[in-house]
Structure formats: C-alpha cells, structure tokens
Amino acid sequence: MKTLKRITLALIAVITMIPLISCGVTGPLPEGITDWGDDPNRPSYEDSLRAAELLASVKSHAPEISNEPVKAADENADLKLWFDHSYCNTPAEDTTSTGRNSYRILLAKNEIEGCHLMLASSSEMRDLTLEVSDFKDKNGNVLDKEVCYGWYFSDVEGKTVADPIPVLEHEFTLNANESKMFVIKVKSKAGTPAGQYRAEVTVKDKEGKEIKKADVYAYVRDFALPAASSCKTLTDLNEWAVIVGANREETTADGLEDDLYALYYEYLLENRVNCYTLPYAKRGQFWDERVKEYLDDPRMNAFTLCWKIHPEATKSEAKLREYVEAAYNMVSQKEEWLGKAYFYPDEGDEPLTKEALDRIISCNKIYTEYFGSHRLLIPIHYNTMLDNDTDFFKYLENDVNAWCGKTYFFNTQADKSFNSDLYTEFYGKSFEDKFGTFKSRMAAAKAEGDEVWWYVTRFPHDPEITLSISDESVKHRLLFWQQKLYGVDGFLYYMCNDWENAKAWTGKYEYQASGTVVKTYGNGVLIYPGGALPEYIEKYGSDGYPGPIGSLRLESIRDGVDDYDYFTILDDLYGEGTSDLIIRQMTVSLGSYKTDTELFNRLRTAVGDLIEEKMTQN
C-alpha cells in the first residue's frame, strides 16, 4: 500500500505540474526522481516529469514472493544466510545481512542472470556443502543453472574481495567472522516458457545434516533478448597465455593450441564478449574451414583483421597484399561475414605520432583495394594538433569509420568546471572551440554512417569508471548505461587474459616506470586460467584442457551488454530517448552517477516491466 501511495502521489505531482511547463515555471521534483543539483548535464524539468510519469506507469507481471526465512531440519542459529544483487561485491569482512531471506532473479528469454548467496558465522565451519535444486515452474519446465563460489584476493586496498568465480564442485570452509559469496546463475533460451521458477537452497554440515535452507526464484519475462546484441564488443584473447594457463606449453610448438583457444573463445562469447581473433584463424589467417562455424554464429557480431597477423605478412607490402587477399577470399563468401569484420592493424593500436597515422592510412589503401567498403577501427587514447586545423581525429577522417576513443574524450569543459577531477588533457578547451564537443563530433560522424566505440584500460581513474576489482560492482554495469546514454555503439577492452602470472591468480595491480603502484586491480583480466586452480588440475589431469574461470567483472560486463539491449528495446517500443529518462536517474555523465544499488535495482526492474507490459499488449 505504501508503494502504491508513493506512485499515486508521483503521478498526481506530474499531472498538477504540467500546466506550469508552458509558463517556464518549475517546482519541486516528483518523489523518486533524482535531483542532480547544479550539474550541467541534469535533465530538464520537463524530462524529469516525463520520467516520473513513465515510472509511475510500471506494472509488474511477476508474482510476489515471500521473504520469510525457511527453517532447516537441523537449523544452525549461528549460521547466517542472506541474498544480494549480482552487482554488489561484499568484502569478506562484511557479515551484515541485507535482510533478504529469499531472492527472485529477473531475466528475459535468451539471457543469463544471477544473484549472490552469502553465508557467515561467528565460528569456523568446515566441510560444508551447498546444494541448489533445479529451477522448476508449475509445469515442470527446468532452467539451466550454475552455482559458483567467490575466490578472494586479500590485498585489494585493505579489503578481502572476490573476483574469480569457479564452479562449486566440492565442500568448503566458512571462516569465523567472515562472509563467503556464492553466485547462483540461471540461463533461459529463446524458447524458454515465461513465468516463475523456484529452487531450494540447502546448506549441509560435514555429517550431512541440513543446517540452513532458503528459497530462490527466477522469473522469465515474456520477451527475448536478441542473439546478436545491439552492443558490439571486442577484446584480445592472448593465445600463448591460454596455453600457459592450461599447463600445456610443452604440447605445442607455435603458441596456439586451437581447441583450447576455441574453448576460451566460446566461454567469452556465451558471456556476450567477442574476441579479436576467431578460433581456427591462426594469426588471423583463415587457413581452416572450421572458422566458418564462428563466422556464422549469430552471437558473434565483431572480429578483427590484421591484428597480430603472422610476422611474414608484415615484411613487405607484397606480403601484406597476400594476407589481405586471402582474408577477403574467406570473409567475402557471405555478406553478413563482411559486416562483422573490422580492420585493426597492429600499427593502428593507440597511435602517438604522425608517422603512425600515416602508416594506418597506407595500410588502409591496401584494405580498400581488396575489400572496397569496410570498417577500420583505431583505438585512440592520445590526441594533439598536427597543424592549426588538424588533430588526430581530423587527420584520419577519410580512413577511420569506426572511431574508438578512450571514454574521457567525452568529458566537456562544462563537465570539468563542475568536477575538476575529470580528465580532459587530450580534448580541452582549444579542441572544443575548434571542433565542438567530442560527443557532438562523434554524433556528426554517426550521421555520416560511421560507428562510434569507446574503451577503458587502467586509465582513466576515478571518477570516470574503469573495470577495476576495487571499484563498486554496480559501476561496471553503469559503464554500459553511460555507453547507451552517449550513443556509443561498441565497447573495446584491450585484453581479457593479461595475466601477471598464468600459474597463479593475482589481483594484478601495476607499476609505473618509477616503481609507483597504480591501483588498477585486475586490469586486462576478465577471466582466470583454470590450470592455476588445484581442483581443476586434478579434474582435467595432464591430458585435459583446464578451461577459463569467470569473474564477477565479466558477469557485470555481460549483464551491462544485456542492459544495453533492454534500453534499445525500450526505445523501439516507447520512442527514441525513452531510455535516457531512466538512465538519467542513475547517471548523467561520465563523472556524475549514483552507486545506490537499490535505486539501480528499481530502475533495471522497471525497464523490464515496461517492455513486458508493451510486449504482452501486442
């Protein structure tokens, strides 16, 4: 009743304030609408009213669930159990319950979603087991599920924080006065029946007694996400690191064991991440017919040509022509294959000089000779004026058509005036005066048919969002909300397995040349090597293929890509710009955002509800 009353009051506020708009008069914002104060990017008063009206119209199709605790047969009162959102990363030192004794995972068809199950006790408990039954609906339909456990790093800015999430296949120990995280994931398919599914969580002690129980639900919405996401992604999957990380370096002579690489590639693709190099395309040369399976895969929406090609191909222009011609002969067999290809030459990786830019242009002439119209993707993190009228972006405007700058290029001088911590060194006032804001510049490029991507590495730093383990997990999802807000088509990440040591898991923080520690925990690491985990080594043996271990940050990237699709569908159903009304409740620019996970949950749920309502009407 309280919720209904708040919604009603918000709607009344909208209705009563509408006459004021035409007079240019504003009043207090409706309840539940974010007040951004004097931020130059704050929504207009009219848009705030539209957002309130939209959120007040939300109707949930999901049945209610009980939050009453479920008592186990041999209940252990000292053992605490609670649930939390998947975009929360609770340090082991935090044993405070959220009060969620049950949880409902919300997902569309063709989606993977999850939640966190947390356990804590004041005394050490050994040889515990955790069981999660099948998720079943009233008709006996079953969802695919997976249960993982959080593997903790003890040195992340003074906290003990999880990131790797191996599949749970054994007993575990609960340390005294520390919490332990488990990840419960469910997967739906395009044909999965909509509706509510239920599973039971059971914790047993070493004697097999049931000492804790809980209910967990999954509600599958009555619409599907697309197989090919509207958010494109690319990252490098280092072949040699894969080999070393599986303890297989003695079994290969050329640094690439094809089937193992394919195993890692498919794991990432399942999680909405595309890699630069396709499986069985050794050194980017399409020498194996098995590559066609991946070219045809609807989930794959991007791959690169000319990235880390065989050294022979770069020895002369004639050799490069041979490579490009061979690539064209393979990729041009289907129009949709050509549409997924992006040229990304080694020489084009973060150019710093005019000579590097000239090399990009020179290579592109060869690409054009064979491919004609094509996509050229160049990550740029440095920009300067080459003469009075030309910066890096201007110099490349006749060649590059998939622009990929660091996120900080989108910071404006107005943003900087409001928040002096933002980074604007490579696109400051002189650039804005001459070319306009970077956002307007990229919008003009898109209007001409170009694509716009962006990327982060260990830089920029807070307040801009990167993918550091030490950041609040909700930020990693918000990065993709910002991507949608800024009209950016694709997300690039330089590498997903840049392991500091493929024989052991580390938090991977980095050092500057001076020896100063740069606090970017996990930079370039979205998966972990299975060959570094004793239980995986034992499971797969010397002849097996220990595959990748996922991470909480990869989970957030996958879910962020899915969020991007939700917003795209929302705009298709309710009109372009509708998603901005929701997104601007959480973030209005790179440096202005909220990390309130309950607000995030409310808004993310509302988007799904709005889509489902419109879909069921149709």
Average pLDDT over residues 545-569: 96
pTM above 0.85, yes or no: yes
Contact 529, 550 (CB under 8 A): no
Q: How far is the C-alpha of 93 from the C-alpha of 18, rounded, in Å? A: 49
Q: Indicate the CATH number of 232-583 among 3.10.590, 3.20.20, 1.20.1440, 1.20.120.
A: 3.20.20
The CA distance from 190 to 426, in Å, is 44
Give the integer Cα–Cα distance in Å for 577 and 581: 7
- Asked if 49 and 30 count as a contact pair (C-beta separation under 8 A), the reply is yes
Which run of H or of E encompasses 220? strand 210-224
pLDDT surpassing 60 at residue 367: yes
Q: Where are the domains of the chain?
A: 2-61, 80-224, 232-583
Q: Is the pLDDT of residue 235 over 50?
A: yes
Total residue count of the chain as it appears in this document: 618
Smallest CA-to-CA distance from 552 within 116, 83, 97, 233 is with: 116
pLDDT tens for residues 301-348?
999 999 988 788 888 899 999 999 999 999 999 999 999 999 999 888
The pLDDT-based confidence of 13 (bands split at 50, 70, 90) is: very low
Q: Nearest-5° angle of CA 406, CA 602, CA 66?
A: 140
pLDDT in tens, 147-197: 999 999 998 989 999 999 999 999 999 999 999 999 999 999 999 999 999
CATH T-level assignment (fold) for domain 80-224: Immunoglobulin-like (2.60.40)
Q: In what order do the strands lie in the sheet with 375-380?
A: 232-235, 490-493, 451-455, 402-406, 375-380, 341-343, 303-305
Q: Six-digit token pair at 614?
A: 């419109």
Backbone angles phi, psi at 338, to 5 degrees: -60, -35
